[in-house]
Amino acid sequence: MSHHTSYAGAEEQKFTWRGGPGYKPILVLIAAIVFIALAVMPPPRSMVDMVEQSDPPGYKVGKDCRNIVDTVNQKLRPEAFKAARATDEDHGSAQMRGAEDAGHNGHQESLLTSAQVARLAKITVCLLALCAFLWGTEALPLGATDVLVGVMLYLFAILPMNEISRAYMTDAVFFIFGILVVAVGVAKTGLDKRIGLILLSRIKSTKGFAFVFMPTLAMAASVLSEHALVALLIPVLMGIYKVTCRIYGVKKDPALAVFLLLGVCFAANHGGPGSPAAGGRNAIMMGYFTDYGSGMTFMEWMKYGMAFVPVASLAIGAFMYLRLKPKFLVKDMNPSEVVKAEVAGMPKFGGKEAIMAVILVLLVAAWIIIGEHAGLGGPTLYAIMAMFVFRIVEWEDVQQGVAFDVVGLYAAACAMGVALKFTGGALWMANAFVAALPDFMSQGDGLVIGVSILTGTMTNFMSDGATVAALGPIVLPMATLAGTSVWKVGLSCAFSSSFANFLVVGTPNNAIVFGMGRDPETGERLLDVMDFVKYGLPVTVIAWLVLWFWAVLGYWRFLTW
């Protein structure tokens, strides 16, 4: 009997080419072949020229460095770089003489050549494509792809060893982990239901959610932390989802889940253009304007940006409503009725729920007062510690309630972003995109539109702040050369950095929604990675169209520049 059981177990563990979610060996094999083929090919000449270019716009070279080659060598070959600088202070680039000098020293590594540095940049671009493919198809489990990024960074020695782990553990990663834990505490104490009553008490239908609540949320996300708003709302929406399904006798309603989760996510994403307070990306662009001698005030930004937010969110709400409402298995939903019924059955406010409310209020206040540029992760970790001290959550709650693969997903995306920025891969992609723009997009409003397409595409693969930081120094000089307003081009870049809708790694909002979007009873994940592509791509196109026809070719024409 036992022999038969062990034999059956061995049969189950046999290798198979049959694919399933999280394991699609045919796709993994195809991805591996393509990646290896691209990796062994020499880097394009444009990439070699870029890494040799002196102080390229869009890339911050290291101290005492002339170009990307010097900067990479300074970090990856510090001893050889110092030796080359000491022996040849006045002659050319470090890699020209340094390789010879270092070669005489037996124990010392030689400097990387231009071609080798360009190859590192090419590898990071290929790695980005590989991971986007694996995340999108779930050919490997999400957690496995998260680890793969680290494996590749080690394997190709793209970053120093200690910096790979540092690249994974950014403030944004601590924030996402922290906000998921805070959401566990909010849901466990029942505070989410009272928050839901405050926010949703007047929303009585699906139509009201799409055309009233989503634009209101987007405008709130212009001045408050969009990530915090999303994280607080998801547990409430999951409660509404479950109760609505129960009312209509439906076990699960995938269309309703997607409508609620992605509706909130996309609305919050597009609050970004409303004010400089909406995120670090806007602060970065404000800094670039000041450096250019064209400083902009807070109210001036709002004058150009706030009118975009309600129109974009209404258009997105209409798309989500028209696309998903016909697919609902339930007849309709009434968030107001659900949250009122839930709160009516709760005990009187107090105890751990009151403590959790105080922690949450202090946390939101800290985010607002300190600001995103000073870090959101620190205050969030303080909140977690307070939750443990007051026994609001146990570690078992955290293990069960936090999607660690999603935290890893964003960590891996951050690490990849660091590698792309360091090697010049991100700069090369930006330059290649700019070079591909047709002639009519090289001047006037055409340039503004072209910049928005470039930024909106890249922000899905890198963090919004990193995208604006990389593109700002490239696109603002283009505005001057084309005789176009620096503000127009800069705002187009900053606004489009909020259009990170079609990849889970595009923004913390996407990662939070994906991680927290689970059935409250079964724990089943309600969103698929491809849902972001399926609905996020059309939403991004809608956002572009609103930006072009409502802002750039619309009310912007009546404003002074």
Q: What is the pLDDT of residue 432?
A: 83
DSSP label of 548: I
Three-class SS state of 480: helix
User: Cα separation of 437 and 450, whole Å?
Assistant: 7
Residue 290 burial (C-beta neighbours within 10 Å; 0-12, 13-18, 19+): exposed
Q: What is the pLDDT of residue 248?
A: 92
For the stretch 472-492, pLDDT in tens is 888 888 887 777 899 999 999
Q: Determine contact, residues 80/110, Cβ cutoff 8 Å.
A: yes
User: Cα separation of 214 and 365, whole Å?
Assistant: 23
| Residue partners of 226: CB distance under 8 A and separation at least 6 | 268, 269, 271, 272, 278, 279, 509
User: pLDDT band at residue 95, thresholds of 50, 70 and 90?
Assistant: very low
Q: What is the pLDDT of residue 11?
A: 43
DSSP 205-259: SHHHIIIIIHHHHHHHTTTS-HHHHHHHHHHHHHHHHHHHHHHTT-S--HHHHHH
Least confident of 327-331, 356-360, 557-561: 557-561
pTM of the model: 0.78
Rounded average pLDDT over 519-541:
91
For the stretch 199-246, pLDDT in tens is 888 899 999 999 999 999 999 989 877 887 888 888 889 889 999 999
Considering the chain, what percentage of its residues have pLDDT values greater than 70? 92
Least confident of 179-183, 381-385, 434-438, 548-552: 434-438
Q: What is the pLDDT of residue 89?
A: 60
For the stretch 141-167, pLDDT in tens is 888 988 999 999 999 999 988 899 888
Q: Determine contact, residues 41/154, Cβ cutoff 8 Å.
A: no
Q: What is the pLDDT of residue 59?
A: 85
Q: What is the pLDDT of residue 319?
A: 97
Residue labelled with tokens 């090919």: 41
